[in-house]
Amino acid sequence: MSDQNYYGSGKYRWTDNVDFDDRAVPGKMVGRKEQLDWIKRQLEYSTFSEKYKLRYDLKRGEILEFDWGINVNAEFSNRHYGVVLADSGEYNPLVIVCPLKSNKNGGHPRSDIDLGIIPCLKTTHSTLAVINQIRSVDKLRIYTKCAIGYESEFKEKDDNIIHSYRLDDRKVDLITQAYINMLTVDNAFKSGV
């Protein structure tokens, strides 16, 4: 048995990080740059939203690239593809999205759904839908030239085009059913078990 210290009680407990090394702190400053970049992007989103109103009419099954931001620990962060799970009209600023990731190292059996190879995504691996990270996001997070960045960061061929690809209805149904199952199945389907 380990000699870790446990804190808290009941289901809210935590331990010391036994892997923490004070000598590694300067190397961890790299993450600080990511956080500062995220703050810069948030300011750009805010400035853009004050000046313009997005009018994206998104349909269920569309695959787009989203800026998930810099989040906490195991939450999805940075740019990743996501699939739209419900239609979102042009006047709705939010869209419900399931993030997608490559199946390079295998998926978690309770939170990742294997969608197979999706031709529009440039990977030789199958694609996983990460159902335990489904959430609503502002349409400003759709990674496009008009919403974020500077002219010099984009190639001419990207001029205000959202490259829209679709996932077939059967695969979107698979994602939504797996999400419903995750939320409704009793203790046998606990997160993190």
pTM of the model: 0.69
What are the boundaries of each domain within the chain? 56-189
Query: Tell me: the pLDDT tens digits for 99-144?
Result: 998 888 888 877 899 999 888 777 788 999 999 999 999 998 887 6
Three-class SS state of 60? coil
Half-sphere exposure at residue 26, Cβ-oriented, CA atoms within 13 angstroms: 1
Residues of the chain with confidence (pLDDT) below 50: 1, 145-163, 187, 189, 193
**CATH topology for the 56-189 domain:** SH3 type barrels. (2.30.30)
Cβ-based neighbours of 120, under 8 Å, separated by 6 or more: 63, 163, 165
